[in-house]
Amino acid sequence: MDELNPNHGIAAHWLALYDLATGQEVRRLELPAAGVAALSADGRWLAVGLSSFEKTNSSGQDPPDPAQNGLMIWDVAAWQQVAYFPIHYGITRVAFSRQGDFLIAAAETGAILRWNISR
């Protein structure tokens, strides 16, 4: 979800997790850029793909800031980020395999990326 920040006039990007049984918000995470997310089938891992939707950084010369484009992996039980993979041009889709043994991400460039997940 996006919210307008009245102090800066820019949108803040949030990922909110809800308990579907109660409808209550469980956790909220502020993201540095717009994001897509996927939860592993066993509920252990949360993958968050970030995309600033900018093809170049503010100077217009280099690839965009990797801190705003990449893939975050979270341990849901501990609610801790366990990995971050900077990927230029951002992530537009993420999905775990049904067996939970790999993660697929699509980048803005059209590249398809795959990570094997160790258990």
Lowest mean pLDDT among 1-10, 66-75, 81-90: 1-10
pLDDT of 92 strictly over 80:
yes
Pairwise pLDDT comparison (85 vs 67), residue with the higher score:
85
Pairwise pLDDT comparison (46 vs 12), residue with the higher score:
46
- As a whole number, mean pLDDT of residues 88-109 equals 88
pLDDT of 10 strictly over 80:
no
CA gap 107, 119 in Å, rounded = 25
- As a whole number, mean pLDDT of residues 14-39 equals 83
Neighbours of 100 (CB within 10 A): 15
